[in-house]
Amino acid sequence: MNVLANDGISKSGVKALETAGFNVSTDTIAQENLIEEINKQNFEVLLVRSATKVRSDIIDGCPNLKLIGRGGVGLDNIDVKYANEKGIEVINTPAASSQSVAELVMTHLFSISRSVFDSNRNMPNSSNGDFKVLKKKYAKGAELRGKTLGIIGFGRIGQFTAQYAIGCGMNVIAFDPFIENISIELKIANQTINVPINMVGMNELLSSSDYISLHVPMPADGKAIIGDDEFDKMKDGAKIVNAARGGVIDEDALLNALNNGKIAAAALDVFTGEPSPRLDLLTHEKISLTPHIGAATSEAQDRIGTELADKIISRFG
């Protein structure tokens, strides 16, 4: 059976598949050439990450496809329902990258609390006099300990983020319409401690949080979860992180909130206009930026590749 990993797959995943008798290609085929090449090379399994889109045209145009795999959590770039209707199985790896995304969120929380991102922009161009100016500019940082982190969406990534935040001494509250009561495990040295999480309503989370982190899929209606109304309900000077999906925060509303001082800082790993985010976001002095790298650690990619391979081998091996 031929497998196309169009957005790449870890060496461990390739090795597991090849050992089980699968032929694996990691060559990247341009979106507009996918149908032709999938049929020409008789690929029956298509693996993607976020770059390749698998819409109805590919599903209809590639009758030999038996399985589509997404290396990651979200399935926004795959027409899952339509694929299933056509008898094509769709799989993903929801747990493999959770820790990596959570660690990136914590990186951004520290960065926007101490203006590290903006300091890194300005320090290379500073002279001796500027050094003193910058030292004064960045001397009003904040500690995470004792602050309240509100987590919107409390699945695997939200829970991993909560573990790290609690370890930093933060007070964690969360909103998730599908969860009423939950405790998470903290492993400290040789001990495991169960910590109950205070699940609250959305309005309470917005008004009570010093920091907010989003861990939700894009709503089916395409409407942002955080817009002007939600920003108005937040604390003055709150900070927000989005490492979930571009579009769950209304980018115009975010810029308004940053420019009028309602929001002190933001951190974005995802953008509505990927792979070409809008310039006013990229150049804003109050936004810490990364280019959609939440799951991009060697450990996470290794887990993703291995998990995809295990599922494919279990299905067809």
283 confidence band (pLDDT: 50, 70, 90): very high
Is pLDDT above 90 for 188? no
Give percent of the chain above pLDDT 90.
Answer: 89
Is pLDDT above 90 for 243? yes
Q: How far apart are CA 182 and CA 195, in angstroms?
A: 9
Task: Give the mean pLDDT of 223-232.
Answer: 98
Task: Give the mean pLDDT of 239-243.
Answer: 98
Residues carrying CATH 3.40.50.720, the chain:
2-96+298-316, 98-289
pLDDT of residue 238: 98
Q: How far apart are CA 298 and CA 10, in angstroms?
A: 8
pLDDT of residue 14: 97
- Is 114 known to be catalytic? no
pLDDT of residue 303: 94
pLDDT of residue 72: 85
Radius of gyration of the chain measured on its C-alpha atoms: 22
CATH of domain 98-289: 3.40.50.720
- Is 284 known to be catalytic? no
189 confidence band (pLDDT: 50, 70, 90): confident
pLDDT of residue 125: 83
Task: Give the mean pLDDT of 300-309.
Answer: 95
pLDDT of residue 253: 98
Q: How far apart are CA 263 and CA 232, in angstroms?
A: 10
94 confidence band (pLDDT: 50, 70, 90): confident
Catalytic entry in 89, 103, 204, 274? 274
Catalytic entry in 245, 251, 303, 307? 245
- Is 315 known to be catalytic? no
Q: How far apart are CA 24 and CA 46, in angstroms?
A: 10
Fold exhibited by the domain 2-96+298-316? Rossmann fold (3.40.50)
Which two structure tokens, joined as six digits, stand for 271? 């953008």
Give the list of residues 6+ apart from residue 231 with CB closer than 8 angstroms, or none. Answer: 253, 254, 256, 257, 262, 263
* pLDDT per residue as tens digits for the range 118-147: 999 999 887 767 888 999 999 999 999 999
Average pLDDT over the chain, rounded to whole? 95
60 confidence band (pLDDT: 50, 70, 90): very high
Is pLDDT above 80 for 317? no
Catalytic entry in 70, 292, 303, 307? 292
